[in-house]
A and B are shown apart, each in its own frame.
Chain A
Amino acid sequence: MSAASPAIGAGAAAAPLLYLDGVTVSFDGFKALNGLSFLVERGEIRSVIGPNGAGKTTMMDVITGKTRPDAGTVFYDGDNDLTHLDEAQIANLGIGRKFQKPTVFENLSVAENLELAQKCPRGIVRTLLAKLSPSQRDEIAETIRIIGLSGREHLRAGALSHGQKQWLEIGMLLIQDQRLLLLDEPVAGMTDRETAATAELILSLAGSRTMVVVEHDMEFVRSLAARVTVLHEGSVLAEGSIDFVQNHPAVIEVYLGR
């Protein structure tokens, strides 16, 4: 199976990379997403904020195929409807996800984690017979350098600190060469210095990758200087610059009014 070739051209470039249209998900009557619609343009960084239960994680679950919506469609890169694909197929279309709780393969080393994530054929027999080429080795070493884990490549991932695991997970997305990165609370549990370094890393990727960042840390969101979407009760409450949404009466109402 060949990966879908990126549609390059004047017409396609103008189309959004991700388009959620009227997505509804309910769990036992509770609507986690309620007719959620929004667009993400190619190459943009988008921050998604919202109070607990606003549907941020459910939205990521729908985009990555973990949860099937009851209604609505999710178009990616033209006319790929993600609601009909499973997790692995969606990952192979170029969508990567970093979970809220860092999930790396604890019994594998840092380098082995990256080796598994590295962009290459995902077939079982191909994986059985895979050998690392010199350029793949270099790429792993380079990624380890970018995520600041040089010298720890043979350390078991389970022995890393919380922040280091977050970075390793981001490194796994980078080496997978995904075009759309969904980052669920990438700086949760990080020290201020680690948070600043993470913001720098994300900003350095702007343009070459499209990113959707879910975060509670307003300082961090501000440092990304990106367009902000506020979710509330499963749909979009407000959208705009960080200053715009922070002064939006409805946003102040849901964040402070109760």
Chain B
Amino acid sequence: MRRADSLFTPAGWAWFLGTGAALIIGVPLLNALPQAGSFAQIPDYLVPLLGKYACYALLALSLDLVWGYAGILSLGHGAFFALGGYAMGMYLMRQIGTRGVYANAQLPDFMVFLNWKSLPWYWYGFDHFAFAAVMVMLVPGVLAFVFGWFAFRSRVTGVYLSIMTQALTYALLLAFFRNDTGFGGNNGLTDFKDILGFEIQAPGTRRALYIVTVIALGLGYLLCRFIVASKLGRLLLAVRDAEGRVRFIGYSVAYAKLFVFTISAVLAGIAGALYVPQVGIINPSEFSPANSIEIAIWVAVGGRGTLVGALIGAVVINFAQTWLTGSMPELWLFVLGGVFILVTLAFPRGLLGFAGRLQSLRARTVSTPVVGEEHAP
């Protein structure tokens, strides 16, 4: 079978490893160049920015896995991202220790400010990195599993499911806004000092965080590729296109969806956990419904159901945002909305689908006509 058995072609591996090596070795090396201001030097501020893009790319990848392949349009993936971020943020808060404004060894600053006497039970364990790292994956994963268990077994699909995911992230937004919930209210968690004993602001730490993020992105991509290239990947496409038919050949649609939805949420949680130390803050605005919709825009712009398209979409849109909010902040939302409308109307398969069409158009004029569609859906 054509695309069944090999995860990658040799050329695909060369691309993957080449890009990975350039990002992992090239960027930190150019950043560490001695003479600041030289042409090739990557300034310090750019490293966490690139790291942030890589986090967004991982987040987009996780959405494309469920939306592009299984047809589950989650408009609540920002919630899983934020939960992963909060789990990491709680660890970073505990690392502050007595260096906070109130110099309280037992409690984070915001709890002292709220006159709390003792640490809530759900903060226990977050002093340890390993515990926090497990929670980064466990909390979003369990939430997605429980949510999916009820939604998919009751056969909630399409726009109803999307609305429920919006409600999920909105409910969490409201909960995390409250001071009583115990996650810093609307200020969230910030003022981090160090991670695993390394000063969080130091250029070396930033480079390391960037490298870890790119590696996580690469591994996430491989995992998604492994899933979509497997027989399960073909089953997911079948679920996306004709869910009812899949049941009549004996597969459980609910469990197939539950499996990818949970994996996707864990990936989103990891992306959030890597995001927080690089931007230095996590607050409830990450749960806002608009954020989650924006993720879907990245994927749609890049081309859903391609994985690579999700990465490209996330990076292109966020680069444009950084650039435009710097130069013409009032225009950004119009540009974002305009791009989304343009892509939906003119390039329904996103930038990648557009590129594929250009390529096959060229191939057709140069050589013999191509039979059928050559790119994977």
Residues of A participating in the B interface, judged by any CB pair closer than 8 Å: 64, 66, 86-88, 91-92, 96-97, 99, 103-109, 111-112, 115-117, 122, 124, 127-132, 154-156, 159, 172, 176
Main DSSP-derived SS at the B contact region = helix
Ranked 3 nearest A-B pairs via Cβ? A91-B250, A87-B247, A128-B232
| Chain B residues within 8 Å of chain A by Cβ, number | 30
Q: Counting CB contacts under 8 A, is B322 at the interface?
A: no
* Given A116-B249, A124-B259, A127-B231: A107 in contact with B1 (beta carbons within 8 A): no
Kindly list chain B residues whose C-beta atoms are within 8 Å of the C-beta of A159: 372
The smallest C-beta distance from B267 to any residue of chain A, in angstroms, reads 16
- Complex: how many Å from CA A128 to CA B237? 13
Asked if residues B250 and A108 are in contact (CB atoms below 8 Å), the reply is: no
* Given A124-B256, A129-B230: A103 in contact with B1 (beta carbons within 8 A): no
Which one of A106, A128, A132, A172 lies within 8 Å of B227 (CB-CB)?
A128
Kindly list chain A residues whose C-beta atoms are within 8 Å of the C-beta of B357: none
Contact with A along B238-268 (1 / 0, CB 8 A): 1001101111111111011001000000000
Which one of B1, B247, B249 lies within 8 Å of A111 (CB-CB)?
B1
The smallest C-beta distance from B15 to any residue of chain A, in angstroms, reads 24
Asked if residues B259 and A116 are in contact (CB atoms below 8 Å), the reply is: no
Asked if residues B242 and A105 are in contact (CB atoms below 8 Å), the reply is: yes
* Given A128-B230, A129-B230: A109 in contact with B245 (beta carbons within 8 A): no
Asked if residues B248 and A91 are in contact (CB atoms below 8 Å), the reply is: yes
Q: Counting CB contacts under 8 A, is B330 at the interface?
A: no
The residues in B between 288 and 343 inclusive whose CB is less than 8 angstroms from any CB of A are: none
Q: List 11 A-B contacts (CB under 8 A).
A: A64-B248, A103-B242, A105-B234, A106-B241, A108-B238, A112-B234, A115-B4, A116-B231, A116-B249, A129-B230, A154-B2
Q: Give 13 new A-B contacts, CB below 8 A, not counting A115-B234, A116-B234, A132-B1.
A: A64-B248, A86-B247, A88-B247, A103-B242, A103-B245, A107-B377, A116-B246, A116-B251, A122-B251, A127-B251, A128-B231, A131-B5, A154-B2
Q: Counting CB contacts under 8 A, is B23 at the interface?
A: no
Asked if residues A127 and B241 are in contact (CB atoms below 8 Å), the reply is: no
Asked if residues B247 and A127 are in contact (CB atoms below 8 Å), the reply is: no
Q: Counting CB contacts under 8 A, is B168 at the interface?
A: no
Kindly list chain A residues whose C-beta atoms are within 8 Å of the C-beta of B259: 124, 128
Asked if residues B231 and A172 are in contact (CB atoms below 8 Å), the reply is: no
- Complex: how many Å from CA A122 to CA B238? 14
Kindly list chain B residues whose C-beta atoms are within 8 Å of the C-beta of A155: 372
The smallest C-beta distance from A113 to any residue of chain B, in angstroms, reads 8
Residues of B participating in the A interface, judged by any CB pair closer than 8 Å: 1-2, 4-5, 227, 230-232, 234-235, 237-238, 241-242, 244-253, 255-256, 259, 372-373, 377
Chain B, residue nearest A94 (CB): B250
Asked if residues B248 and A116 are in contact (CB atoms below 8 Å), the reply is: no
Asked if residues A115 and B231 are in contact (CB atoms below 8 Å), the reply is: yes
Kindly list chain A residues whose C-beta atoms are within 8 Å of the C-beta of B245: 99, 103-105
The smallest C-beta distance from B144 to any residue of chain A, in angstroms, reads 15
Kindly list chain A residues whose C-beta atoms are within 8 Å of the C-beta of B373: 156
* Given A112-B1, A128-B232, A132-B4: A156 in contact with B372 (beta carbons within 8 A): yes
Kindly list chain B residues whose C-beta atoms are within 8 Å of the C-beta of A86: 247
- Complex: how many Å from CA A91 to CA B252? 11
Kindly list chain A residues whose C-beta atoms are within 8 Å of the C-beta of B230: 127-130
Kindly list chain B residues whose C-beta atoms are within 8 Å of the C-beta of A103: 242, 244-245
Kindly list chain A residues whose C-beta atoms are within 8 Å of the C-beta of B235: 116, 127
Kindly list chain B residues whose C-beta atoms are within 8 Å of the C-beta of A66: 244
- Complex: how many Å from CA A111 to CA B246? 16
Asked if residues B247 and A91 are in contact (CB atoms below 8 Å), the reply is: yes
The smallest C-beta distance from A41 to any residue of chain B, in angstroms, reads 23
